Structure 1
Amino acid sequence: MHTSSVQQNILSELDHELASTRRVLERVPHDQADYRPHPKSMTLWQLATHVVNLLAFKQLFVQHASRDFLDPNGPKPGPTPTSQEELLARFDEYSATLRQALQATDDEQLTDSFRLHRGEHTLFDWPKATAIRLMGLNHSIHHRGQLTVYLRLLDIPIPGLYGPSADEQ
């Protein structure tokens, strides 16, 4: 009987989603960075950058016990990428760092708690594996889905994510 660890399951899921996310990011045109489908929506570039920066957030879940949004010394994303090349380079760097952090952990550490808070107000306090899946992977997949809608509205072909897209049929 083959047993699989929580860590290995997360790594497998992460690898699949990172490959899919990179295919979407490769199609984000910097020359349309200011596009937004609605006044309340992020711009195309803000959304693409957010998808990339979420990778560093996931790494926090793995390596730390908490994060206070009010802490002025808390980790912050780097400057906004100014080209698709910079965006993809950051994606690749953050992806590799996240994978290394996950590989250096184990199932027992992934059951430790991670608390996300704003001062005394707790946003969530979950086992690290849960935080990685819900606020890490699922959160990224949600924003990647938004990004594919932006691309569709800009008439940019969508890559297949869980099978062929309408553009690949």
Structure 2
Amino acid sequence: MSIKEGFLVELERETNNTRRILDRLKDEDLSFRPHEKSMSLGSLAGHIVDLHNWISDALTKNDFNLATDFKPLKPTQVSELKAALDEGYKRNEKTIDTFPEEEWFTNWTMRVDNYVVAEMPKLAALRFVINNHLIHHRGQLTVYLRLLDIPVPGMYGPSADEKK
């Protein structure tokens, strides 16, 4: 299996996992905030969708500047989150499918203006900066669902809400 084939499997599964959560949300849930220091549910869900979409937006550059190359999604409706995830999936799939194998090992820099946040090969950026990061935040989002008494979908097997 090539690198791209492995990432295409992961892309499909993780996108479907995020979609299962978005399918349970309602527009009125987006303003929920479990604590004053916490992001709103809408901001957190937007960040997760943004992270999914960094696959095509960030990896096609060697230098990704958050100050100029990124505009955060600020959803006001769940339908915006779903549309952005679906549109991004198509771009991500095409990006990974056509990504040259040797390009995975080229250096990638994430910065905010002149401040370097991270430097690593693109292979590591996809796993560490993007996928692991979005999975972490998606776990946070499932806690929001639990606090709102919204049944939590299983991600890697049935959840407590899905067990009979």
TM-score by length of 2: 0.92
Q: CA deviation at 1:95?
A: 1.4
In the TM superposition, 1:147-166 aligns within 5 A as 147-166=141-160
- How has the CA–CA distance of structure 1 residues 77 and 119 changed in structure 2, closer, same or farther, with 3 Å as cutoff? closer
Shift of 1:84: 1.6
Match status 1:88 vs 2:82: yes
Match of 1:60, SS state, is: helix
Match of 2:119 in 1: 125
Contact 2:108–2:121, Cα closer than 8 Å, also in 1:
yes
Stretch of structure 1 that moved more, 158-167 or 7-16: 7-16
One-letter amino acid of the counterpart of residue 19, structure 2 = R
> Do structure 1's residue 65 and structure 2's residue 59 form an aligned pair?
no
Contact 1:62 1:102 in 2 (8 A): no
SS in 1 for 2:37: coil
> Amino acid of the residue matched to residue 79 of structure 2?
E
- For 1:132, give the aligned amino acid: L
Work out whether 1:18 is the aligned partner of 2:15: yes
The 5 Å alignment of 1:127-146 reads 127-146=121-140
Q: Distance in 1 between matches of 2:43 and 2:152?
A: 19
The verdict on how the C-alpha distance between 1:41 and 1:77 changes in structure 2, with shifts beyond 3 A counting, is closer
Aligned to 2:99, the other structure's residue is in SS state coil
CA–CA distance in structure 2, aligned partners of residues 32 and 84 of structure 1: 9
Distance in 1 of aligned mates of 2:145 and 2:5: 32
Give, in angstroms, the shift of residue 99 of structure 1: 1.2
CA 103–154 in structure 1, closer or farther in 2 if over 3 Å, else same: same
Gaps (5+ residues) in structure 2? none
Q: Distance in 1 between matches of 2:57 and 2:107?
A: 12
Conservation of the 8 A alpha-carbon contact between 2:30 and 2:76? no
CA RMSD of aligned residues (A): 1.4
Contact residue 36 and residue 43 of structure 1 kept, 8 A: yes
Alignment correspondent of 1:52: 49
Within 2, Cα distance between the matches of 1:52 and 1:85? 12
* Percent sequence identity over aligned pairs: 39
Aligned pair count?
163
Task: Name the counterpart of 1:35.
Answer: 32
CA contact (8 A) 1:7 1:110 kept: no
